[in-house]
Structure 1
Amino acid sequence: MKNSIIVLAFLLCSLSVFAQTQALKPGNTAAIEAKLIELALANPAMKVRDYERAKTVSELNKASASWLNYVTASANLNAVTLKIVDQNELGTQLYYPLWNVGINVPLGSLIGKGSDVKIARRNLDIATAQQEIARRQITAMVLAKFRDYQKNKALLELQQEATEEDQAAFEQAEAKYSASSITYDEYNVASKRYKDGQARIITLERDIAVSKLEVEEIIGVKLEDVINAK
């Protein structure tokens, strides 16, 4: 029975180590980060930049086409063309041409329209640059927050191991102090080290929770769903 328990414990430890190793593999981390970036780029703040650029595209198209509004056509109609008077009745008094058609294009309007189009193009360039800046910023932000999360988790594991050792040392010091085999100062040193370790664990747990929330705010889903995705 004892041998079975030992084997079971060994297998559980092996599985735990294997799972941690898999989670820390660069390939897994790269896949997680790629998914985080994909989700981050669907963030509403990023969509605002996309909408702003689409708006400037529409404004440019409108400015490019609106020059037609400045073009006016005119036609001079007379009694003959309107068939009010017969041409034969007028005889030599008929003036040519019977039709007088023209197109008027104000030069000042055309010059101003060129400036409007240039402004619209610059606005599109600005919107495109702002969109790219936002993409880079949100990508850097989500990766930085995720790496803070990873760092704090690794530090927490190390601190928990150290604190377990400090706890064992404190319990020994407590027993020795009760037996009057060590001084109060020695007991106090062990107690303080153990309590400091506990305080660092609390701080790291808080930092992990905050960095996790910050990542989730950007990606819009639970971080565990991304990490545990197949």
Structure 2
Amino acid sequence: MKSKLLITCLFLITITTTRLYAQQESFVSEVNYQYLEKLIATAKKNYPEIKLRQAQVNAAKASLTQTKVSWLDAFTASYIYSPRNALNLVNPTIFNGYQLSVSINLGTFFAKPFETKVAKENYNIAQYQQQQYNLNIEANVKRLYYAYLEAQADLRNRARAVTDGEIAVKQLKYSFQKGESTFHDYNEALTSLYNQNSFKVQGELSMLTAKANLEEILGAKLEDVK
């Protein structure tokens, strides 16, 4: 009777300890902030949306430069050549040789400051959008990195629970064969071990999913980021 009570208590202690491990496990101490900065830098280097934002900034800057140069479009220069020895009876002129004239399109001239201002604001907008997306991608990388660490910690808990369950099953099997515990106790231990193995498989899937999500935004494998 004492042996049966001892085995049952041992089984309960094993399961309780497993649950305590699950509650106490923390991944905060595993956060590597230097490595996290490398992950963020990798995402900013590889993620296509980052390249798109930079291209938009470059295009807006080029448009602003073009608008500033296009001030010259309002002016038109031309020249007239009147030979010194020629006599023009239709349009007589008092000047001979080359004559330079400059005309200005007032509509174009007065429109240029507004065009330049619009181009400058578009450039600012592109920069602000790029800055905002940089902040977004930093937050996303951090969130996915923390989720990956959490999944790893959870998987360790589940793996530990399986190990503890296997120990309990072996002990109860041995005591059952000696007639010191009931088949009901042994069967409960087997059921618990089966459940813990199922939880472990779920934990492995969660960990791999978290890793895939992080690698998607990085544009690279975690193993390649050093």
Paired residue secondary structure (1:84):
coil
Distance 2:109 2:139 in 1: 45
Q: Does 1:47 align with 2:48?
A: no
CA deviation profile, 1:85-119 (whole Å, cap 9, x unmatched) = 48xxxxxxx97666875422122112322222222
Distance 1:122 1:174 in 2: 77
Distance 2:123 2:61 in 1: 6
| Residue 204 of structure 1: aligned partner | 203
Paired residue secondary structure (1:148):
helix
Stretches of structure 1 that go unaligned for 5 or more consecutive residues are 1-23, 87-93
Q: Match of 2:134, as an amino acid? A: R
Paired residue secondary structure (1:41):
helix
Q: Does 1:59 align with 2:63?
A: yes
CA deviation profile, 1:53-98 (whole Å, cap 9, x unmatched) = 1011111111111121221124566xxx521348xxxxxxx97666
CA RMSD of aligned residues (A): 2.8
Where has structure 1 moved over 6 Å in runs of 4 or more?
Answer: 97-100
| Residue 139 of structure 1: aligned partner | 138
Paired residue secondary structure (2:102):
strand
CA deviation profile, 1:8-57 (whole Å, cap 9, x unmatched) = xxxxxxxxxxxxxxxx566xx12211111111110232111111110111
TM-score under structure 2 length normalisation: 0.72
Q: 1:130 to 1:155 in 2, by over 3 A?
A: same
User: Percent identity between the aligned chains?
Assistant: 26
Aligned residues: 192
Stretches of structure 2 that go unaligned for 5 or more consecutive residues are 1-28
Matches within 5 A, 1:1-230: 29-43=32-46, 44-75=48-79, 81-85=82-86, 101-174=100-173, 179=179, 181-182=181-182, 184=184, 186-226=185-225, 229=226
Q: Match of 2:110, as an amino acid? A: I
Q: Match of 2:51, as an amino acid? A: K
* Highest RCO, 1 vs 2 (Cα 8 Å, sep ≥ 6): 2
Q: CA deviation at 1:131?
A: 0.9
